[in-house]
Amino acid sequence: MSPVVELQLIGPFAYPVPKSKHEGTLPELPPLTGVYVEAIRSLDDRTYFARGIGDTKLKEGSIRTHFLAKRRDYRSGWYNLIDVDLARAKGQRRVVWQGWSIEKLDRLKKDPGLLEEHRALLERQWPVMAVFIVVGGLQSRRELQRLRAALLIHYYSQPVYLLDDRQYKAKRRVDETPILAKFTSCATLHDFPETLSF
């Protein structure tokens, strides 16, 4: 029988951007480590769609520190940007800025028009972004990796999702004992599971 671990999804917390970029009064992202869910607020202003899932380890610092570094990468043009209106209305993903390209980053540095286009898209995304954090009894870096992979697989199995199509490979190996996670406080995040084996 699989061991059971009780986990809690806490949030939403404000994405760590200047307060002038935020709509609303979400609490500040706390200095915790672990698995996080990056999310976009839906049109009802009460629920959220998952946009990205990741994890940090102690030597990398807190999730807040991680997102401050990630903010710089967003500004540089490295990450994909999506159609915010479609994402908020239907939870569907349409990429309006294709990231993950060194060539495009070089063009961005040299082309003021492209830089302005990217800045305008990013300014629309910042105010509706938030972060959720999974807290509870996970004991090791490996367990965090397995949980992250299981959450990604869960979301990729949904009919629609906002996550980028970049599969994460650190799922449970055949020689590892399955763990059953039971989550609480997950109602505000669309399609977040109440239970998950990883």
Length of the chain, in residues: 198
Half-sphere exposure of 93 (CA within 13 A, CB side): 21
Q: What average pLDDT does range 10-21 have in this prediction?
A: 76
pLDDT digits (tens, 9 = 90+) for 119-145: 888 888 888 889 999 888 787 888 888
Best-predicted range by mean pLDDT (23-27, 97-101, 142-146): 142-146
Best CA proximity match to 11, nearest among 162, 184, 127? 184
Calpha distance 95→15 (Å, rounded)? 20
* Residues β-bridged to residue 5: 181
Tokens 């401050």 belong to: 68
35 within 8 A of 151, measured Cβ to Cβ: yes
**pLDDT tens-place string over residues 83-92:** 999 999 999 8
Distances, alpha carbon 195 to alpha carbons 57, 72, 153, 159, in Å: 23, 34, 14, 19
Cα 24 to Cα 37, 56, 97, distances in angstroms = 19, 27, 26
3-state secondary structure of 191: coil
pTM of this prediction exceeds 0.75:
yes
pLDDT score of 20 more than 60: no
Q: How far apart are CA 115 and CA 118, in angstroms?
A: 5
Cβ atoms of 34 and 133 within 8 Å: the answer is yes
Six-digit token string for 130: 């938030």
- pLDDT of 21 higher than 70: no
